[in-house]
Every structure is written in C-alpha cells, then in structure tokens.
C-alpha cells in the first residue's frame, strides 16, 4: 500500500477532537512522573499557570514550521525554499509572541527577537541537513502531525506523531520521527528508554493506522541550540517488551490518578514550574 493510499483510507479526527474525551497523553504522563502535584494543578483543577518557560512556545513554532515544510511536499511534490521555511517560522513565532507577551518567562538574556534569530539559525541548519539526507518524495510522506488514539483501560491514550515516512528501499518499513529542540545532545539512556517513541509504537499498532505486519524505525531528529546550530538524528528500537514497560507505567499513573495520589516533588523542574507559587512544597 502506498503512502497516498494509506492517507486516503485512514482519515483521523483532529488532536483537538481527541482531547475532548477522557484521555491520557504522553505529556500528561511526563508531568505526573516529574511532579504529581503539578499534574493536579494543570489537569485536575484546571489552574492556569502563572507563566510558561520560553522553550514551550519556541518548540511549538519550530514544530509548526517543520510541519509546513513536509505538508508542502505532500501537496506539491516539492519542498519549500529556505526563505519560505524561515518565513513560516517567523509567522508562527509572531503568533506565539502575540499570545505570550506577558506569560512567557525567559532564561538569562533570552528575548523574543533573540529566540527568533535562534529559530532561523536552527531551521537553516535543518534545511541543509535534510537536503544532505535526501528530501523525501510526496509518496514517502505518510503523515505529518498525525493524531492517533488507542484504548487504554477505560480511557483513550492519545498523541500526535510528528512525521511518518515510508522507506524508499523497503516499502513495508516506516520511519516514525519526533522533532525536538534541545540545548544538549541526547544521552544513550534517554535514547534507549524514553517512553515517547514507545508511545508512538503503541499508537500506530493499536490504532491500525499502518498496514498489518509493517516494520518500524524510530528516530529523534534533534535541532541542537548551540552557537553553531546542528541537527542530529538518533535512531533506536522499541521492542514489545518496551511497550509492555510503557503500558505498566501508564497504568500505574492511572491508578495514582484514580486514587488521587498527588504530592509535590521538589527538584530541577521547580524553577520553570508555573505553579510553584501556589505549591504546598513551598
């Protein structure tokens, strides 16, 4: 089955529609694992944080720009120009600035204009890196920002996969890719154990989005925020045992939520936590 055929026969609801129902996501899991009290503020009580760190709007704007890059290839068969990619980021960054002027907390000497320049530099590096790797064809792009859901107990586990590519040499193999911006390179432990790519495997298998018997490759394409920006790809595997471990963690978190197990977990995350001022740990 071609990528175009998969897209045609597998229409999916939007991620906004999936969020309307009772659900768990990887970001919710991550919040609970870092600090259950923060999870309670955000997802149970619905409290608006006093601020968000600059990494959130920055990452959102980069993701939107990369999504526009791959969607244009889907639509036209040709990638956008570098200038068009940078303009896409600038437009999305302007939206983030408009909505976050009094809500985003910067680190050190960060500014809106400085982060805009950083984003442009990262995308210049990405554009060159992608060209060297080989720009995918229209039919190799299966999905961009694909929302999926799968049943997990009494609720739905939901998520959006940044990019799915069909292997140009092995048509039954698919590359599941997550885009990240980071100030640091990923270490081997994170590459081997991080649950996000495991969640991707769970979602594509349980949703039935890809053909039965498909093979998977899992990748982080990381835009490193350095003086001279670079892009690095980290490839990994996610076995059935990894999925079982992921599901064990997800179910344990759900039990904690069901039994209202919420407590502060003071640590490195407190500095950038928008609920710190109201936290019982203070």
pLDDT tens, residue by residue, 77-95: 999 999 999 999 999 999 9
Rg (CA), the chain: 19
Q: What is the pLDDT of residue 4?
A: 52
Point out which residues pair with 164 in neighbouring strands. 143, 176
pTM higher than 0.85: yes
Q: What is the pLDDT of residue 272?
A: 87
Q: Cβ(79)–Cβ(90) under 8 Å?
A: no
Name the average pLDDT for the chain: 93
Q: What is the pLDDT of residue 8?
A: 47
Instruction: Give pLDDT tens digits for 7-34.
Output: 445 567 888 888 888 899 999 999 999 9
Q: Cβ(86)–Cβ(123) under 8 Å?
A: yes
Q: Cβ(229)–Cβ(125) under 8 Å?
A: yes
Q: What is the pLDDT of residue 1?
A: 55
Point out which residues pair with 116 in neighbouring strands. none
What is the spatial distance between Cα 22 and Cα 166, in angstroms, rounded to a whole number? 32
Instruction: Give pLDDT tens digits for 134-185.
Output: 999 999 999 999 999 999 999 999 999 999 999 999 999 999 999 999 999 9
Is residue 235 predicted with pLDDT exceeding 70? yes
Instruction: Give pLDDT tens digits for 173-214.
Output: 999 999 999 999 999 999 999 999 999 999 999 999 999 899
Instruction: Give pLDDT tens digits for 30-73.
Output: 999 999 999 999 999 999 999 999 999 999 999 999 999 999 99
Classify strands 104-105 and 52-53 as parallel, antiparallel or unpaired.
parallel
Domain ranges of the chain: 45-135, 138-251
138-251 architecture in CATH? Answer: 3-Layer(aba) Sandwich (3.40)
């Amino acid at each position: 089955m071609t990528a175009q055929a998969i897209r045609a026969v597998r229409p999916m609801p939007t991620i906004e529609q999936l969020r309307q129902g009772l659900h768990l996501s990887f970001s919710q899991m991550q919040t609970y694992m870092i600090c259950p009290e923060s999870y309670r503020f955000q997802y149970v009580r619905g409290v608006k944080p006093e601020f968000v760190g600059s990494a959130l709007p920055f990452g959102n704007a980069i993701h939107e720009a990369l999504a526009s890059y791959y969607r244009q290839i889907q639509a036209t068969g040709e990638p956008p120009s570098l200038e068009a990619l940078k303009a896409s980021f600038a437009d999305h960054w302007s939206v983030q600035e408009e909505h976050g002027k009094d809500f985003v907390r910067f680190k050190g000497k960060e500014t809106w204009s400085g982060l805009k320049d950083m984003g442009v530099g990262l995308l210049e590096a990405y554009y060159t890196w992608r060209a060297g790797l080989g720009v995918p064809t229209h039919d190799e792009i299966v999905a961009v920002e694909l929302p999926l859901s799968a049943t997990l107990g009494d609720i739905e586990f939901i998520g959006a996969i940044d990019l799915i590519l069909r292997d140009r040499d092995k048509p039954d193999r698919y590359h599941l890719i997550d885009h990240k911006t980071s100030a640091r390179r990923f270490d081997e432990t994170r590459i081997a154990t991080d649950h996000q790519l495991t969640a991707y495997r769970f979602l594509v298998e349980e949703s039935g989005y890809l053909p039965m018997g498909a093979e998977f490759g899992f990748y982080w394409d990381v835009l490193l925020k350095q003086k001279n920006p670079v892009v690095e790809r980290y490839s990994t595997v996610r076995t059935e045992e990894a999925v079982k471990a992921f599901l064990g963690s997800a179910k344990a978190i759900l039990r904690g939520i069901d039994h209202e197990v919420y407590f502060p977990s003071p640590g490195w995350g407190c500095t950038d936590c928008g609920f710190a001022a109201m936290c019982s740990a203070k």
